Chains A and B, each alone.
Chain A
């Protein structure tokens, strides 16, 4: 697997590069701002871009903007945003096109190296990953569509938002995979998501989850 890293703090950039290399992920470029990221991705066509939000020159959301731009220009490159803070607004923007291959997690998650590497691989493979903290923001919301979900289905949906597979959800909730599949099917039905490929429906379900708060 080939990755491009965009992070302006050299300390973290080097650390992340080492962490990925130690875990058999090739880092083909490590850059420090949004423009350099876009150039590196267009040149290298990596499987995944791992991007910090706040970077020079304005230290606002250039990383996010560059990532959204890349989602349009090079849909085959997955994007994982790794930031010091999570904002629900940004999560919605990243997922808005309804495609997978996108993630948004806190930098803290790097500390659990195995889980972080797993997240990188999952997103690169077209999955999604939202930080539990983003998901937690949206607990206790009001939305007619979500009101129809049972508490159990809500739990399952929150885990889908984090990017867990059915097997992962089953493990986490101590259910059988079959039971989880039933819940997932019920969630899709209640949210009115048309049958299509599984990833796409999962992203749409997460979007419904995030939008429910607006």
Chain B
């Protein structure tokens, strides 16, 4: 996911660096015995750099508003120039500077937008494919499982009805079979429902649901879920399946001696991390590929780091748009 955050973070770091430089310059000026207060020019220069980086990076303002601001500043400068009695037209320099910054901003925005469109197109296609294949799987499970069992159930009841008067013993046999079919259908429906949305996740949320996953594992698993409130349902479900799939993967392939599952909030996103100290070399296939589609469908990102020899880290960042 292309984010504005790195640029904003750069601007913040830059601001701190500039503040330090400015203080340093002030100290140098004081140490050199004062005199004409030249640090003001250094401050102006560095301030301009920070302001332009911030201005270019800050895209929440919207391009049109920034253009409006630039025009207003230009008009103000021209006003100052006119009020000062004209002369050499110095506002041309700051106005040219503003124009340059606006142009820069338009370009960065264009690049960002293009990458974003590309990314959304891909993740949407992935989401559609994931949903489609899941629906197909559910349809097949229903068709081969519960539906077939219900047909058998109905058939057995019909047979029992027919035999009731003639051969009560036979009728009883059919009824017993019918009951068995109903039980099997229920079992299959329950497994299916659990695969779509585990009941304990709906009832109790992520912490309890992930802990329930770890109750009968052969490897010790530590679970740390630290969220101020329950995330939106789609995010919660995706986070659960990241933990579940990551855990299943570690248990099946990693030969790990311990597994850590950590869920916390970071800048309006839920971060799920599954770490194991196993042998590494995890390839992204099957369940993990499906996981990526699930995560990217929510505009999130999935990172799998698994060098040969381990450790393996599976980390999903799921933005929470409330």
Contacts and interface: CB of A to CB of B under 8 A. Distances in A.
Q: Do A and B bind each other?
A: yes
A193 B48 CA distance: 76
B25 to A, nearest CB: 61
B216 A138 contact: yes
Nearest to A214: B215
Interface string B171-202: 00000000100110011001001100001101
A213 B193 CA distance: 24
A60 B215 contact: no
A82 to B, nearest CB: 13
Q: How large is the interface on B (under 10, 10 to 19, 20 to 34, 35 or more residues)?
A: 10 to 19
Interface in A109-149: 111-112, 137-142
Given A85-B199, A108-B186, A141 B212 contact: no
B203 interface: yes
Given A84-B190, A108-B186, A60 B202 contact: yes
A20 B160 CA distance: 24
A61 B203 contact: yes
Contacts of A54: 199, 203
Contacts of A111: 179, 182-183
Interface string A58-86: 01110010000000000000000000110
B222 to A, nearest CB: 12
Contact of B200 (A87, A106, A141, A214): A87
B225 to A, nearest CB: 14
A53 B203 CA distance: 10
A98 interface: no
A107 B215 CA distance: 23
A89 interface: yes
A89 B211 contact: yes
A140 B216 contact: yes
A73 to B, nearest CB: 22
A111 B187 CA distance: 13
B204 interface: yes
A112 B179 contact: yes
A88 interface: yes
Contact of B216 (A85, A112, A141): A141
B174 to A, nearest CB: 15
B201 to A, nearest CB: 10
Interface in A33-71: 53-54, 59-61, 64
Contacts of A64: 203
Of B186, B193, B199, B211, chain A has the most CB atoms within 10 Å of the CB of: B199
A85 B194 contact: yes
B270 to A, nearest CB: 20
A214 B194 CA distance: 21
A60 B212 contact: no
A213 B194 contact: no
A87 B202 contact: no
A213 B186 CA distance: 26
A108 B183 contact: yes
Nearest to B220: A142
Contacts of B183: 108, 111
A89 B216 contact: no
Given A108-B187, A111-B179, A111-B183, A213 B215 contact: yes
Nearest to B211: A89
Given A89-B212, A112-B179, A60 B186 contact: no
Given A84-B193, A112-B179, A140-B218, 5 more contacts: A89-B212, A108-B182, A111-B182, A142-B218, A213-B215
Interface pairs A-B: 8 shortest CB-CB: A61-B203, A60-B203, A213-B215, A85-B199, A213-B216, A108-B186, A87-B200, A111-B179
